[in-house]
Every structure is written in structure tokens, then in C-alpha cells.
């Protein structure tokens, strides 16, 4: 089952549950019940709960979106740094240049074709990927520059490899869910309380009120799904992709 189908089912279920509760509750209300007699304090409390929960939802969405954006930036930084290493190797002799580019391509190919799935399965970056990047570092570090042109390219290449290594470690730290469990507890309890307060307002079975109650509950379900999907930058539907690598290394992508 796809995540979007699961979302549609969850939102529909939330609507059905809320509407069913309203209908069943209305059948048990006395004929002389007057909803206008709802105390003003209940309306005020309901409004405040909605405002507070909206702030919490907004902060949660901003937090997971920032984590996803950071993971995307780290991926782009890693790919760009490796692309610079391949480009700067142009000034070296053909055999050495080809070896550096071959090892860079091997690392990128492994990341694109193997490590991305490994991260989703194991929740961490793979030791083999770390070893492949270390091989690139060794290639560059062990050969002393032979002339001024190579000397000018040597240190920038080492800096770019350090940048790629740093971005790779940051990518590893962003693997897996980023939202603490206690926050999820607060979000779910808050959703139950917020939707539950709808019934304190003594809404009737009119079509307008039922539609509003169902739409409100579906919106809460959608926002919780959005937070859950963004919570794992590399493992869910709206996840960080390998596009920066495939854009800068088109032969690997093909």
C-alpha cells in the first residue's frame, strides 16, 4: 500500500469517525436541547486549545522541514565537492587523473545505487561507502605535486574531499526519524483533544456542521501525516533523493 493511499484512507476514516460520533450523539440529545446554551467559557477554551495546537503543529512542521532541507543541502554539498575533485584532477597526468576520477565515480555509483537503500534499511551510512571515500582521499594525499600547476590544485582537492567527508557524516546523522517520541505523544494527544473539543460545542446534524467537522478532522490527519513523512529525510515518500549526484555525474545516473 502506498503512503498516499494510506493517507487517503486515514483522512477518510477520521471524517467518518467524527461524523458518526456527531450523528450518534445527536440521536441521544433531548428534543428540547438548545445548543445556544453552550457556556461561553467552553467556546473560549475550545478556541484557545485550537490556537495552541496550531502553534505546536506549525513548529513541528517547521522543524521537520528544516531537517529535510538541511539533509538536501548536505547531499548537494557532497556531490558538488566530489565534482570539483574530478574537475581539478585535469591538471595531473592522464594515468593519475583517470585513477582519481575512477575512484570518485566508484564512490558516487555506490552512493546512488546501493547506499541510499542501505540507509533506509539500516538507518546509517555504510562502512563500504566510507572506505570508498577514504580511497579517494588516499589517491590525492599520497601523490606529491610535481609542478606549480599541480601544487595549486592539490590543496583545493584535499579541501573538497574534506568537505565531502563532512557532508557525508552530516548525511549519516540525518538518517532515520528526527522527531523525539515525546513530541509525537504531544502531537497525537493534542489532535485527540482538539478534535474532541468539537463535540463540546454541541454541533447539530446539519450538512454544514457535519462537513466542517469532517474537514477539520481530515486536516488534522493530513498535517500529522505531513510531519511523519518529513520526519525521516531519507526513508519516506517525500524524501531527499540522489538527484544532486546524478545531475553532476550524468554517466553514473544513466
Q: State the pLDDT confidence band at 131, using cuts at 50, 70 and 90.
A: very high
Q: Which comes out higher in pLDDT, residue 157 or 253? A: 157
pLDDT tens digits for 141-179? 888 888 888 888 889 999 999 999 999 999 988 888 888
pLDDT given at position 34: 55
Q: Grid coordinates in use for 225?
A: 501525516
pLDDT given at position 26: 64
Least confident span in 43-47, 189-193, 200-204? 200-204
Nearest to 162 by CA among 85, 103, 239: 85
pLDDT tens digits for 224-252? 888 888 888 887 767 788 889 999 998 87
Count Cβ neighbours within 10 Å for each residue of 111-132 and write b for 16 or more, e otherwise. Answer: bbeebbebbeeeeebbeebbeb
pLDDT given at position 219: 87
Q: How far apart are CA 90 and CA 86, in angstroms?
A: 7
Q: Grid coordinates in use for 143?
A: 601523490
The whole-chain average pLDDT of the chain stands at 83
pLDDT given at position 142: 85
Say if pTM beats, i.e. exceeds, 0.75: yes
Q: Grid coordinates in use for 247?
A: 545531475
For residues 44-55, give the mean pLDDT. Answer: 85
- Give the CA radius of gyration of the chain: 27
Name the percent of the chain lying above pLDDT 70.
87
Amino acid at each position: 500500500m502506498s503512503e498516499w493511499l494510506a493517507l487517503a484512507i486515514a483522512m477518510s476514516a477520521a471524517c467518518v469517525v467524527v461524523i458518526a460520533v456527531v450523528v450518534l450523539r445527536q440521536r441521544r440529545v433531548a428534543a428540547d436541547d438548545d445548543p445556544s446554551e453552550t457556556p461561553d467559557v467552553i467556546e473560549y477554551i475550545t478556541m484557545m486549545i485550537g490556537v495552541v495546537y496550531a502553534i505546536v503543529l506549525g513548529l513541528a512542521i517547521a522543524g521537520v522541514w528544516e531537517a529535510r532541507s538541511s539533509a538536501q543541502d548536505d547531499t548537494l554539498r557532497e556531490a558538488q565537492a566530489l565534482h570539483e575533485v574530478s574537475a581539478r584532477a585535469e591538471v595531473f597526468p592522464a594515468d593519475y587523473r583517470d585513477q582519481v576520477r575512477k575512484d570518485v565515480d566508484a564512490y558516487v555509483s555506490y552512493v546512488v545505487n546501493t547506499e541510499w537503500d542501505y540507509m533506509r534499511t539500516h538507518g546509517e551510512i555504510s562502512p563500504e561507502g566510507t572506505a570508498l571515500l577514504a580511497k579517494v582521499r588516499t589517491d590525492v594525499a599520497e601523490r606529491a605535486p610535481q609542478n606549480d600547476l599541480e601544487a595549486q590544485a592539490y590543496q583545493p582537492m584535499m579541501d573538497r574531499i574534506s568537505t565531502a567527508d563532512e557532508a557525508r557524516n552530516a548525511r549519516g546523522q540525518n538518517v532515520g526519524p528526527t522527531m523525539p517520541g515525546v513530541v509525537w505523544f504531544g502531537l497525537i494527544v493534542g489532535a485527540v483533544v482538539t478534535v474532541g473539543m468539537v463535540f463540546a460545542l454541541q454541533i447539530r446534524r446539519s450538512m454544514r456542521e457535519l462537513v466542517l467537522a469532517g474537514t477539520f478532522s481530515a486536516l488534522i490527519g493530513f498535517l500529522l501525516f505531513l510531519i511523519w513523512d518529513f520526519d525521516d529525510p531519507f526513508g519516506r515518500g517525500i524524501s531527499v533523493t540522489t538527484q544532486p549526484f546524478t545531475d553532476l555525474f550524468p554517466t553514473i545516473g544513466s
